[in-house]
Structure 1
Amino acid sequence: MTARLPRPARLRPADLLRLGLLGPRTRRLRSALSALGIALGIAAVVAVTGISASNQAHLLDRLDRLGSNLITVSPGEDFEGKKVPLPKESVTMLGNIAPVERVSATGNTKANVYRNEFVPSNQTNSLRVLSARLDLLKAVRGEVRTGRWLDHATERLPVVVLGSSSAERLGVTAPGTKVWIAGEGLTGEWYGVLGILEPNELVPEIDDSVLVGGPTAIASLDGDRTPSTVYLRVHPDRVSDVQDVAAATANPAQPGMVAVSRPSDLLKARAETDDTLTGLVLSLAGVALLVGGVGIANTMVVGVMERRGEVGLRRALGARRGQIAAQFLIEAVLLGLFGGLVGAALGAATVYAYATGQGWPATVPLVWAVAGPAVAVVVGTVAGLYPALRAAGMSPTGALRSA
């Protein structure tokens, strides 16, 4: 009767884990470099999505504060490309639309602004001098950085309020400074700076303007009596309805010659552009993940070749093919998991550092923070599959002979 050899003992999960840690512990530098490729890929994914999400959160916060229910109405162009002025009654007519909560307007003047009377007349810095109604700041939800806004006492005086960009270009940092306002056919005059505005993302044309009171603009600066831009603050649920009737209400005789826009759409377009750029960078992060996976596969293949003696000895002592394959596969998975965790932490730290520096709310998408290490494990598994099968396919005698 022939004696049967005992079946090889099954390795417990804890034993397999210890065997899987054997390779990374003995080849620390090579294992660290392999995991680094995965870590960089995951860090890129988390950082790009996190910075994009933080930027969008900042934009949405600005939209919430500025309000996405602002509509602008301005003169359109005729068939010859010439501007068709709005009727001077257009502000009142637009204000009579039921969902309109607040309406205000600016008007053009013939004046230009200069830092002093010695600046050549053609060097205007692309700044406009506009007449402004007293309720303009409330309509556009603007804020005064320093100084104060126009009121009934100052709208008839030679004073101006500067937008943020116009103050920077003129080199004015505080109220009380004087600027020179002149123009063709106008007598130049010094105007005192009453206030400086904060930047307004929804109404950037205000940032590049110098604002004077309506009575002063008409009396001294040859200002238009018709509005150049009308700003409507409407009920948030009725924005589309007001957009549909704004042109016909502003100029019933020529509704096709009226331009109606919603400034917040520009900010939303910026957010969509960020999404497109995010997709591009994510593809680059995918390449980094692929490179990291190739690095892990290379490390595992080289490890199999260097450890043929170990594999042959274990096979000669009764280790099964599945146990050998599991050992090398666990090594690859551990490298991927380690790289994924390090990459997620590095990406999150990058997001928080960048967002804090920009003054944004730091936002790390939970789905990527969790999915990053999971993706790294999948990459490590795929990368280690072939080397694991190759190690398992070695014969004991062949492995010992080549060792």
Structure 2
Amino acid sequence: MPTPQPVRLRTSDLLRLGGSGLRARPLRAVLSALGIAIGIAAMVAVVGISTSSRADLDRALAALGTNMLTVAPGNTMLGETATLPDDALGMIERIGPVTSATATGRVTDANVYRTDRIPQGETGGLSLLAAQLDLLATVGADLARGTWLNAATARYPAVVLGASAARRLGDVPAVYIGGRWYTVIGVLDRVPLAPEIDDAVLIGWDAAETYLAFDGHATTVYTRSVDSQVEAVRSVLAPTANPESPDEVEVSRPSDALAARRAANQTFTALLLGLGAVALLVGGIGVANTMVISVLERRAEIGLRRSLGATRGQIRTQFVAESLLLSLLGGAGGVLGGVAVTAVYAGTQQWPTVVPLWAAAGGLGATLVIGVIAGLYPAIRAARLAPTEALAAA
């Protein structure tokens, strides 16, 4: 007579068995799941709050120009002021991580006056800059009133005033430059990232070459690049802008705000790892304690199932499945709780609410790992009980 083979439990059978064990003791299951939920909620909330805070910090630091670098001509070996090549801007724009680049050029042979009655030497310290049309977007400037230069006005006698220049000149409809009147078409707000623009009168590149004998050489190139590549971009800016004489190029160093951002990121990461480890440890101990007690209280059930033909493997699988369900219940509640805490706290701080997908997935994944580890010992212990021993102890 052939030896009967044990029936293989289907997934639905395991879920039903595990769920029946939890439904038999609902209060204990809820309290154990609550312990896991609190731990996972704390971990998700830390990730969410830190990520939301980081998003707000990134937004504030972006306004400070952490990814903006400037390129300017330095001095030659003879001590004279160098010049950037005509194609310097185009070459810089070809650098991979550079997202945008624009330039201004100082017009040295003309001064700006409020009227044609002012003596020639009284310039008021205002500078005249030829500007590329994409200057505002790159340096983060905004208009206080009027309009910015466009493809049409950049070719004709029209200017835009920096904030300080407008204050010094007053509310004038036009300024006098190089023996010609130039219409004021706009006024800029202050530009924190490029304060030199505040004291400048900006004219179109083509108009400067046509009316003011501008030589067409950029005196300042503004670049924006990918945050993670700022240092790498800085290292190649000089040889890219002037391959023949890179020593004659001055490149600004990355903003101190970039270092502040990285320090903040490291702090958030350390906080996450520390609190997350504690939360997982506490949750795992709670599940293990619940499952050990469950094994002790259910010896009669274990003995009866073994006497009816259940194998040790099936007993182990049953208790591991029960532990997984318990952990998954707590993990799902913890993820939802963590998201809710993040949303409430971020709202009170006027931050954007950001909970990374990996944090929610990681929380659920962590609970599954906890469930397996915490339920393994009680499951093995239950499987080792002999039917007669289990029934006698009951």
Aligned match of 2:391: 400
Aligned match of 1:272: 262
Asked if the contact 1:37–1:288 (Cα under 8 Å) also holds between the matched residues in 2, the reply is no
2:163 equivalent to 1:150:
yes
Instruction: Tell me the CA shift for residue 60 of structure 1.
Output: 6.0
Instruction: Tell me the CA shift for residue 303 of structure 1.
Output: 1.0
2:30 equivalent to 1:17:
no
Matches within 5 A, 1:349-388: 349-388=340-379
Partners of 2:312 and 2:361 in 1: how far apart?
A: 33
Aligned match of 1:262: 254
Aligned match of 1:160: none
Which segment is superposed worse, 29-38 or 54-63? 54-63
1:226-277, Cα deviation, whole Å (9 max, x unpaired): xxxx98624759754556799xx9x98xx9xx994232xx333233223312
Asked if the contact 1:134–1:151 (Cα under 8 Å) also holds between the matched residues in 2, the reply is no
Partners of 1:241 and 1:4 in 2: how far apart?
A: 79
Counterpart of 1:26 (choices 24, 27, 34) is 24
Asked if the contact 1:50–1:364 (Cα under 8 Å) also holds between the matched residues in 2, the reply is yes
Structure 1: 5+ residue runs without aligned partners? 74-86, 106-130, 158-193, 215-229
Instruction: Tell me the CA shift for residue 389 of structure 1.
Output: 0.8
2:352 equivalent to 1:339:
no
SS in 1 for 2:163: coil
Q: CA distance change for structure 1 residues 327 and 66 in 2, over 3 Å: closer, same or farther?
A: same
Q: CA distance change for structure 1 residues 342 and 236 in 2, over 3 Å: closer, same or farther?
A: closer
Instruction: Tell me the CA shift for residue 396 of structure 1.
Output: 1.9
Matches within 5 A, 1:105-144: 140-143=139-142
Aligned match of 1:233: 222
1:115-146, Cα deviation, whole Å (9 max, x unpaired): xxxxxxxxxxxxxxxx8868899585355899
Counterpart of 2:43 (choices 42, 45, 53) is 45
Matches within 5 A, 1:33-72: 33-58=31-56, 59=58, 63=62, 68-71=67-70
Partners of 2:39 and 2:127 in 1: how far apart?
A: 54
Instruction: Tell me the CA shift for residue 326 of structure 1.
Output: 1.7
SS in 2 for 1:71: strand
Aligned match of 1:188: none
Asked if the contact 2:66–2:258 (Cα under 8 Å) also holds between the matched residues in 1, the reply is no
Partners of 2:265 and 2:371 in 1: how far apart?
A: 28
Q: CA distance change for structure 1 residues 236 and 281 in 2, over 3 Å: closer, same or farther?
A: closer
SS in 2 for 1:332: helix
Give the fraction of aligned pairs with identical amino acids, expressed as a percent: 39
Q: CA distance change for structure 1 residues 67 and 260 in 2, over 3 Å: closer, same or farther?
A: closer
Partners of 2:333 and 2:128 in 1: how far apart?
A: 56
Asked if the contact 2:320–2:375 (Cα under 8 Å) also holds between the matched residues in 1, the reply is yes
How many residues matched? 299
TM-align CA RMSD: 4.8
Matches within 5 A, 1:290-301: 290-301=281-292
1:164-205, Cα deviation, whole Å (9 max, x unpaired): xxxxxxxxxxxxxxxxxxxxxxxxxxxxxx99969x5x68xx
Partners of 2:13 and 2:251 in 1: how far apart?
A: 74
Structure 2: 5+ residue runs without aligned partners? 73-78, 90-100, 107-124, 146-160, 171-186, 202-218, 227-232
Asked if the contact 1:155–1:213 (Cα under 8 Å) also holds between the matched residues in 2, the reply is no
SS in 1 for 2:379: helix
1:86-136, Cα deviation, whole Å (9 max, x unpaired): x9x98x96899943844599xxxxxxxxxxxxxxxxxxxxxxxxx886889
Partners of 2:286 and 2:366 in 1: how far apart?
A: 16
Q: CA distance change for structure 1 residues 155 and 400 in 2, over 3 Å: closer, same or farther?
A: same
Q: CA distance change for structure 1 residues 96 and 354 in 2, over 3 Å: closer, same or farther?
A: farther
Counterpart of 1:390 (choices 377, 381, 389) is 381
Matches within 5 A, 1:187-266: 233-234=222-223, 239-242=234-237, 260-263=252-255, 266=256
Relative to the length of structure 2, the TM-score reads 0.58
SS in 2 for 1:364: coil
Partners of 1:44 and 1:140 in 2: how far apart?
A: 40
